[in-house]
Amino acid sequence: MAAKNIPFSKEQIEKITESHPTPFHIYDEKAIRENARYFKNAFSWNEGFKEYYAIKAAPNPYLMKILREEGFGIDCSSIAELELAKRVGMRGDEIMLTSNDTPAYEFQLAKDLGAIINLDDISHIDFVDKHVGLPDTICMRYNPGDLKQGNLIIGHPEEAKYGFTHNQMIEGYLKLKAKGVKHFGVHTMVASNELDSDYFIETAEILFKLIVEIKEKTGIKIEFANLGGGIGIPYKPEDKAVDLDYVSAGIKKLYDKLIVANDLAPLKIFFESGRAITGPYGYLVTKVRHIKNTFKKFAGLDACMVNLMRPAMYGAYHHISVLGKENKDANVKYDVTGSLCENNDKFAIDRMLPELEPNDILVIHDAGAHGHSMGFNYNGKLKSAELLLRENGDVAEIRRAETIEDYFTTINFNGLKDFKV
């Protein structure tokens, strides 16, 4: 069972709302740091181990600065994420670019920063060589096809747009070697939000066997293996968290059997988790705006899909707590909704909760990854603030809420007077 604890009280939130009206996201620094250390310690047996935080999960430089201090790198997938890394002060192998359908200017900035470039397609070898020039270190993303099952979020490997086929991997390394690349890595990621601990051990086995084959067929000794991300979190109270100590022990056993035994050590092991690092430690705080009774009972909030898209996009479960009513019976069934002009703008369907009334404060759990970052501006809705609960109990604003002027800033209204219709 996954406990759904809250690191703040109703009184603390009421105090915060005096200066930061709902909705807003708030992250727990202490819990994020403790979790980061747990992740690192689980793989401390591997010299060179590094977790590259998937910044797409929560692209906030304040969170990244905290994780960098804990020894994490950053996994980027776009020009904006690379720029964020640059502005945080990150350089070199602190950064990994794992993108797809990548433009030349993204490869160029990654190379300028000294980042590790992770190629998604065999055609990108010539593309990078022509437009940017190949760096000394290159990684390639492996798509194992029917060797591995994917899931709803990322798709099945044979249908997914990501990565090289098995034969393309061998061809790609030979081509890179011929072009003068000196250092090589391998990467895969074929699932997202996976809770089966054995899944990650099986993924390591596939990648380690590939590394042995690459050495046999190309003479190349792979220096690092990025096992990707995809480590899930227990969104539902009845879910069981991934046991990282168990995963690490299983991977070490395979490392000794396949890597050490074939004289391929040392091999650095990397991960690029996002959700597993910050997901459980971010909360969307929102208030009930209206209660509506028609064919169903609806609780309309001041938050909407702009603030958390996952329930509408994936049918994902997010636990909901009602501050001040934690000990009351959950005996009323609600659809918990936002205000977008889309019927799927719902945080929960047929959810049993304590009886709600306007101005009740709701906390939507596990919103610390793919929450604020997936927001958009449909219906002219504005993205909310991000706050950080510091270890000493202070609250810092790490991103202000958007304003109407932000929404209109890219439009030249002055041009309207001369616009002929």
**pLDDT tens per residue, range 369-398:** 999 999 999 999 999 999 999 999 999 999
Give the DSSP per-residue string, 308-365: --HHHHH-----EEETT-TTS---EEEEEE-SSSSTT-EEEEEEEESPP-TT-EEEE-
Q: What percent of the chain has pLDDT over 90?
A: 94
Torsion of CA 300, 306, 312, 316, to 10 degrees: -100
DSSP code, position 268:
E
Total residue count of the chain as it appears in this document: 421
Indicate the pLDDT class of residue 158, thresholds 50, 70 and 90. Answer: low
CATH topology of domain 29-278: TIM Barrel (3.20.20)
Q: Which residues contact 17 (CB under 8 A, 6 or more apart)?
A: none
- Residue spans of the domains in the chain: they are 29-278, 279-407
Strand 24-28 to strand 282-293: parallel, antiparallel, or no bridges (unpaired)?
A: antiparallel
Would you state the pLDDT for residue 148? Answer: 52
Report the distance separating Cα 385 and Cα 22, nearest Å. 9
Indicate the pLDDT class of residue 2, thresholds 50, 70 and 90. Answer: confident
**Superfamily designation of domain 279-407:** Lyase, Ornithine Decarboxylase; Chain A, domain 1 (2.40.37.10)
356-383 core/surface letters (b: 16 or more CB in 10 A; e: else): beeebbbbbbbbbbbbbbbbeeeeebeb
Mean pLDDT, residues 271-295:
98
Q: What percent of the chain has pLDDT over 70?
A: 97
Would you state the pLDDT for residue 419? Answer: 95
Mean pLDDT, residues 394-409:
97
Mean pLDDT, residues 397-406:
98
* Mean pLDDT across the chain: 95
Mean pLDDT, residues 287-303:
98
Peptide bond before 266: cis, by omega within 30 degrees of 0?
yes
Tell whether pTM > 0.85: yes
Indicate the pLDDT class of residue 149, thresholds 50, 70 and 90. Answer: low
Report the distance separating Cα 109 and Cα 357, nearest Å. 51
Strand 95-98 to strand 137-142: parallel, antiparallel, or no bridges (unpaired)?
A: unpaired
**pLDDT tens per residue, range 86-137:** 999 999 999 999 999 999 999 999 999 999 999 999 999 999 999 999 999 9
Active site residues: 341
Report the distance separating Cα 261 and Cα 53, nearest Å. 30
Would you state the pLDDT for residue 156? Answer: 64
Report the distance separating Cα 299 and Cα 292, nearest Å. 6
**pLDDT tens per residue, range 321-368:** 999 999 999 999 999 999 999 999 999 999 999 999 999 999 999 999
3-state secondary structure of 102: coil
Indicate the pLDDT class of residue 154, thresholds 50, 70 and 90. Answer: very low
**Mean pLDDT lowest for which of 60-64, 189-193, 236-240?**
189-193
Would you state the pLDDT for residue 146? Answer: 73
Would you state the pLDDT for residue 264? Answer: 98
